[in-house]
């Protein structure tokens, strides 16, 4: 009887141990099952939070775009300060700081802005030569700059070539067809005016020659003479460049010698 009772106790203990072991194993498995989804949720939440923080930081950064050619980046907010860079038309810069008070430069009154430009240049630019830039409104901003620059009838050859280069870049960034068409028309307009501003006797000038060579695939050349002449009969007729895509538009301009224009 004693042996039987001992065996019974041993069986009971084994059963108790087996039940406890199973419970512990089940608890471990449950914790692991809960741990993996919980960890994934925590990682997803952290990623979303980091993305939201980065987006807010991106939104908090302000940008400006140059609205003139040869905008000087200065070491201090002063027209007498040294230059660290010179920016062409249509360059987007990051705004870092704004001067406390407005300053008057020429006939314009505006703030100075400390900016970081592409390529690492950093310094102050006068606000009257820039405008706020929002990437979501780039088409509207580009069209506004093109319209304003084309309205300047006294634009120099350098101003017009800078405008063409800006519109070359802008056309690659817009997606709306109507905006692209308007920018392309403005580009051809600026190209035609730049070509018509070249004096006939200075076509071989290195500056002008470089420009006509660069745009050779976009222009055609027509004679500036309307009647036969000895030079024409010898095949030495002088020709003026005209934009091929807008030849009809600029035919009259290319037929007459341009008047000198003053720089801005």
Strands 103-105 and 108-110: antiparallel
In this prediction the pTM is: 0.66
69 and 54 in a single domain? The answer is no
Kindly list the distances between the CA atom of residue 185 and the CA atoms of 90, 143, 151, 194, 255, in Å, as whole numbers in the listed order. Answer: 17, 11, 14, 14, 21
* Counted domains in the chain: 3
198 and 261 in a single domain? The answer is yes
DSSP 152: -
* pLDDT: which is higher, 250 or 109: 109
Beta strands in 137-256, from DSSP E residues, in sequence order:
219-223, 239-243
What domain range is 87 assigned to? Answer: 62-133
2 and 88 in a single domain? The answer is no
11 and 55 in a single domain? The answer is yes
Percent of the chain with pLDDT over 90: 57
126 and 240 in a single domain? The answer is no
In angstroms, rounded to a whole number, what is the distance separating the alpha carbons of residues 190 and 196? 10
> Per the structure block, which two tokens stand in for 89?
């038309």
Give residue 12's pLDDT. 53
Confidence band for 219, pLDDT divided at 50, 70 and 90: confident
Neighbouring CB atoms inside 10 A of 180's CB total 17
128 and 186 in a single domain? The answer is no
241 and 160 in a single domain? The answer is yes
Question: What is the tens place of the pLDDT at every residue in 64-110?
Answer: 999 999 999 999 999 999 999 999 999 999 999 999 999 999 999 99
Least confident of 74-88, 115-129, 228-242: 228-242
In angstroms, rounded to a whole number, what is the distance separating the alpha carbons of residues 169 and 67? 14
145 and 21 in a single domain? The answer is no
């Amino acid at each position: 009887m004693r042996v039987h009772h001992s065996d019974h106790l041993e069986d009971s203990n084994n059963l108790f141990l087996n039940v406890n072991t199973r419970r512990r194993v089940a608890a471990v498995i449950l914790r692991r099952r809960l741990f993996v989804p919980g960890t994934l949720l925590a990682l997803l939440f952290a990623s979303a939070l980091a993305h939201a923080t980065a987006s807010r930081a991106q939104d908090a950064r302000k940008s400006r775009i140059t609205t003139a050619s040869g905008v000087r980046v200065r070491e201090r907010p002063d027209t007498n300060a040294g230059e660290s860079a010179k920016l062409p038309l249509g360059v987007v810069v990051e705004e870092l700081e704004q001067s406390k008070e407005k300053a008057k430069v020429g006939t314009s009154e505006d703030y100075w802005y400390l900016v970081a430009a592409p390529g690492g240049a950093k310094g102050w630019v006068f606000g009257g030569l820039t405008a706020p830039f929002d990437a979501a409104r780039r088409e509207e901003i580009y069209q506004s700059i093109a319209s304003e620059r084309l309205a300047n009838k006294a634009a120099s050859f350098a101003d017009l070539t800078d405008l063409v280069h800006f519109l070359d870049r802008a056309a690659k960034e817009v997606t709306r067809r109507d905006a692209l068409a308007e920018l392309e028309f403005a580009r051809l307009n600026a190209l035609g005016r730049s070509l018509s501003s070249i004096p006939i006797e200075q076509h071989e000038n290195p500056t002008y020659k470089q420009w006509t060579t660069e745009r050779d695939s976009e222009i055609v050349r027509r004679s500036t003479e309307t009647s036969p002449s000895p030079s024409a009969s010898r095949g030495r007729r002088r020709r003026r460049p005209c934009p091929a895509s807008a030849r009809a538009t600029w035919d009259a301009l290319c037929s007459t010698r341009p008047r000198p224009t003053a720089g801005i």
